[in-house]
Amino acid sequence: MPMAVSQLEAELRQAFPDAQIVIEDLAGDGDHYRAKISSRAFAGLNRVRQHQLVYAALKGKMGGELHALALETSVPEGS
């Protein structure tokens, strides 16, 4: 069963409560999303480590409920 945008956002908000999150359904199938996440939790981390934090927050749902997730992570200005 595909993951709803609301469920994906809820999972990400739980892990990154301060984050600015924008999610786009790329294919309209609930399986392919792009997520832009800006959080202070990413400060001082390289992009690979930032993405690892996001995947960890999804608790193993990548490859199952969620087939593809294009990530754009950043640290808010002034953080």
Beta strands in the chain (DSSP E): 20-25, 32-38, 68-74
Q: 3-class SS at 13?
A: helix
pLDDT in tens, 4-57: 889 999 999 999 999 999 999 998 887 889 999 999 999 999 999 999 999 999
Q: Rounded to whole angstroms, how far apart are CA atoms 47 and 79?
A: 16
Per the CB < 8 A criterion, the answer to whether 73 and 40 are in contact is: no
- pLDDT band for position 79 (cuts 50, 70, 90): low
Torsions phi, psi for 35 (to 5 deg): -125, 130
- Per CATH, the architecture of 5-74 is what? 2-Layer Sandwich (3.30)
Q: 3-class SS at 4?
A: coil
Domain ranges of the chain: 5-74
User: Kind of pairing, strands 68-74 and 20-25?
Assistant: unpaired
